[in-house]
Amino acid sequence: MAIRQASVSDLRKGNITRENAYVVVAMCFHPRGLSADLRDEYRADLAPDRELFKDFKAFEKTLGHAAAFRQCGYERRFTLGAAARVRLGELAVMSRQRDVYLVCQCELGERCHREMLMLTARILFGAETDDLFHEYPFYDQRLKGVQ
């Protein structure tokens, strides 16, 4: 059992289901047309703040996903509020009994806040997680300063 990650397309295709995991959509905006029946929970507070998201999307249009992540300073700017941190801690506890999937629009393998959430769950709450596709050294250092 662990905290894992998936994309909205994985959810739509049925690659992950509520039958075998607890599914949390962690996005600023609920995905258009995604049935609430496919998820257990929608948490905008586990997503980047809207200003960061807006900046990322603006850069993504011209630079592509990876370059936009760097250009907007995503790793340095991503933060979690107190309520989001509490909920992530609760999800970390839940993941000891049942897989918990964090879902976002980004495809697997792309830099994504899901991985930063997984890193947070590991460092702050001792959660087991899937391996990350990327390293987040600045965010990692910030988290270790919180401990």
In this prediction, the residues of the chain whose per-residue pLDDT falls under 50 are: none
pTM of the predicted model over 0.85: yes
**What is the model's pLDDT at position 75?**
94
**What is the model's pLDDT at position 145?**
83
3-state secondary structure 44-106: HHHCCCHHHHHHHHHHHHHHCHHHHHHHCCHHHHCCCCHHHHHHHHHHHHHCCCCCEEEEECC
**What is the model's pLDDT at position 144?**
86
